[in-house]
Structure 1
């Protein structure tokens, strides 16, 4: 357990940065410095273009995971910050982790969790403002767990009137799910067009699905209406 960083980034400063198309990163887990990133090219998910594979459809329809929103934000970001084989160092420093936990407490950062019993086996977290959600990181400890979390997020965003899902940097994995790369200038235009309040918060939209006897089937139905 690390000591809380006293110089966490203030929530309002983080939100101003995101509204300007900029986000913070760090060089390693214990780095107390952050640098502000404005990519030349941005990866985004068209909300009607998420690719639902047959294996993902099966996992969703079977309700293989119990899905929640904001049940344990701190655990999700802490797990995302753990070392991975493909990344020797995490860009989620303790300072960044503390900053997003504070942003979550302020109501502008959300997590989606996938559970098997009482075990957290997958999830994602990101920043919400206006009709925008900026996905930060995800993890999976069971087949399709992070994809299920992403499917729930996209269905919830569509139902709640969100317009833009940012996923920062393009990867082969994101491209296989339907993400597209656009110039930063175009991304800034999409940010402006997504100003305004959604009809519902992401936690409220997730809760509507969770209250269904067969939430996964509703998620598949929602995602395949136009995809």
Structure 2
């Protein structure tokens, strides 16, 4: 079994086969390369994403198993359903992408730093301007208090990060995202790695093989699109679990 990871060419990175990813650390596949838009789109289509800290080389990952959320399996608790009906906040799409990334980059509890460094911000901001990345914002008056961002390719949404400065606002953002994705016939949200928060929303683990099969069917051609707009206020869908 391979114990080292390949160093990708900084100009023309070629990713190794996914099955060569390490078991420990789980899913580490390669290092180096670049964060150009074409490289990122190619990586996502292959089930690979970048994740590294400041001062490290670019690290590329494809963990096994993979956490995903099918939009019509979004779990909405009774308390959250009441919150959705009565909350005082405004929700928007693609109004403040860079601000959402900045909020997501702020240190969390028990964390000294962040992986959303300037190099990552610049790369995903470019994806946003190309119509491949999108954000969801939650506002209290003119104050950004929750949101998320990710990359949309074909019928797969690759979630990157979310934040919440007030109770339930990241869940509110995810709920609106899933409703929008259903309206656009998206097949799943890639949540990358397990977290209790995402599991509480209905996300579940699937094998790398199953995830790659989903990509073959739903992530065929990168295509830019106009910035998304909120299509309407939230109402419970017939398949959303409560």
- TM normalised by structure 1 equals 0.85
Aligned to 1:18: 44
Q: How many residues align?
A: 207
Q: Which runs of 5+ in 2 are unaligned?
A: 1-32
Residues 47-68 of structure 1, C-alpha deviations (whole Å, 9 max, x = no match) = 2211101222122212421001
Cα shift readout 1:159-210 (whole Å, capped 9, x = no counterpart) = 111112111001111111111001111101011111468xxx6954x4321x
Query: Higher RCO, 1 or 2 (CA under 8 Å, sep at least 6)?
Result: 1
Native 8 Å contact 2:90 2:138 kept in 1:
yes
Q: Greater helix share, 1 or 2? A: 1
Cα deviation, residue 129, structure 1:
0.6
* Structure whose CA Rg is larger: 2
Deviations 1:122-173 (A, max 9, x none): 0000001110101100000111100000000000000111112111001111
Alignment of 1:28-107 (within 5 A): 30-31=54-55, 33-107=57-131
1:88-130: per-residue Cα shift (whole Å, max 9, x none)?
3212121111111111111100000000000000000000111
Kindly indicate whether the alpha-carbon contact (under 8 Å) linking 1:157 and 1:202 is maintained by their aligned counterparts in 2: no
Q: Does 1:181 align with 2:205?
A: yes
Moved over 3 A (4+): 201-204
Gaps of 5+ in 1: 1-6, 210-214
Give the SS at the match of 1:15. Answer: helix
C-alpha change, 1:135 and 1:202, in structure 2 (3 Å) is farther
CA contact (8 A) 2:68 2:190 kept: yes
Q: Does residue 221 of structure 2 align to residue 221 of structure 1?
A: no
What root-mean-square deviation, in Å, do the aligned CA atoms of Structure 1 and Structure 2 show? 2.1
Match of residue 231 from structure 2:
208
When residues 225 and 181 of structure 1 are mapped into structure 2, their CA distance, relative to the original with a 3 A threshold, is closer
